A = this chain, B = another copy of it.
């Protein structure tokens, strides 16, 4: 008998009918003899509905109150699914994040799980009950409700799988698995059948939206095998697991893009020790995440400095830098929001050279200028003008031979 943690996303539980379908699937699996823990998101659209209500009330709602508000959505779906399972004769019970002992830090609306006290969950399992757990939420030391940020239910599922030493964590979503790139841009994009934690982590952080980054970190740390699959069909999905020889044969596993960042450029910054530290110290103090940084060699003791960060933080960053200006002197501060980051990811890069060179020449052949570059052992990212994103992704996908020979779903019918 295996122990499997299953997570169903918002679209999978988006209506009474769909919740009933999920119940059928679980009851079937349960009859096969496996022990199951189910983690649910709120109905699709519900979290946005609640956020809209809060924004109508006040422009800048308190984070603790946001968590009180947002944590209600999952409680509705878990109660309804537990009812549906019971009506199928399957023993089930709903549990909140608190009830399954998910303890987090105090960062409301983006809390991190610190500990799981799974006693009650184990007890339910030992009684043959299918625990149906509210994803996305926990409590802090004060016993206040916290939420884990967008996609937090993935993290709940993987963290529970780790705490219970489950055999598998299945993430049911509205796509068939992890693709070599966004199939909306590249119709020949291929489902990846197996991918390493490291690659998945890069892809999640770089913009692939299938799994929350934090959930992949958890899976990697505790070696939880994660299977991403669709709740609307029986496809095999994508297994996220430890790296193996097979994976290394592919040079590039996937291509991601991210249009959510902005580039801030400081022109004429004094080129002396301590200046960069002052600049990024002030920015990180405000908890803004700087991604890439480039410093050009300058003239006459001055240098230019560029960095990227989430678009929503760009204006605030500029204000902070303007305050610093008096102290360090900056000639000009420019924000460019029309940028995009395109990245290649693959563990094969470790053993293959020339990947970066090939990427640059592909982009240049299409006349795409590269504004910033950043590399790690298993990824290369280029910042380019936003309008070239789709073109860049398509040409790279082609050049690195990632596509299928035929588009997976042709809409043309031959008579």
| Residue A242 at the chain B interface, CB threshold 8 Å | no
Q: Which among A66-74, A391-399, A403-411 touches the partner chain?
A: A66-74
Q: List B contacts of A86 (CB < 8 A).
A: 58, 62, 65
| Residue A223 at the chain B interface, CB threshold 8 Å | no
Which chain B residue lies CB-closest to A80?
A: B57
Q: List B contacts of A228 (CB < 8 A).
A: none
Which chain B residue lies CB-closest to A57?
A: B83
Which chain B residue lies CB-closest to A144?
A: B99
Q: Which among A48-56, A169-177, A180-188 touches the partner chain?
A: A48-56
Q: Is the interface of A mostly helix, strand, loop or mixed?
A: helix
| Contact across chains for A54 and B68 when beta carbons are under 8 A apart | no
A205 to B22, CA, bound (A): 43
| Contact across chains for B87 and A65 when beta carbons are under 8 A apart | no
| Contact across chains for A53 and B72 when beta carbons are under 8 A apart | no
* In the complex, per-residue mask of A217-236: 1 if CB is within 8 Å of any chain B CB, else 0: 00000000000000000000
| Contact across chains for B72 and A94 when beta carbons are under 8 A apart | no
Interface residues of A in 28-84 (CB under 8 A from B): 50, 53-54, 56-58, 61-62, 64-66, 68-69, 71-72, 75-76, 78-80, 82-84
A117 to chain B, nearest CB (A): 12
A391 to B42, CA, bound (A): 50
- Interface size of A by Cβ–Cβ distance < 8 Å? 36
A144 to B71, CA, bound (A): 16
| Residue A311 at the chain B interface, CB threshold 8 Å | no
| Contact across chains for A54 and B66 when beta carbons are under 8 A apart | no
| Residue A143 at the chain B interface, CB threshold 8 Å | yes
A252 to chain B, nearest CB (A): 45
Q: Select A82's contact among B62, B71, B99, B145, beta carbons within 8 Å.
A: B62
A49 to chain B, nearest CB (A): 10
| Residue A122 at the chain B interface, CB threshold 8 Å | no
| Residue A93 at the chain B interface, CB threshold 8 Å | yes
| Contact across chains for B69 and A76 when beta carbons are under 8 A apart | yes
A90 to chain B, nearest CB (A): 12
Q: List B contacts of A82 (CB < 8 A).
A: 62, 65, 68
| Residue A20 at the chain B interface, CB threshold 8 Å | yes
| Contact across chains for B65 and A79 when beta carbons are under 8 A apart | yes
A405 to chain B, nearest CB (A): 46
| Residue A19 at the chain B interface, CB threshold 8 Å | yes
| Contact across chains for B58 and A68 when beta carbons are under 8 A apart | no
| Residue A16 at the chain B interface, CB threshold 8 Å | yes
Question: Taking A72-B72, A99-B143 as contacts, is the C-beta distance between A65 and B53 under 8 angstroms?
Answer: no
Q: List B contacts of A98 (CB < 8 A).
A: 143
For this complex, 11 residue pairs linking A to B, each with C-beta atoms less than 8 Å apart, are: A16-B57, A53-B76, A53-B80, A54-B79, A57-B84, A62-B82, A65-B80, A65-B83, A69-B75, A71-B75, A72-B75
Given A57-B84, A99-B143, 5 extra CB contacts under 8 A: A16-B56, A61-B83, A62-B86, A65-B80, A68-B96
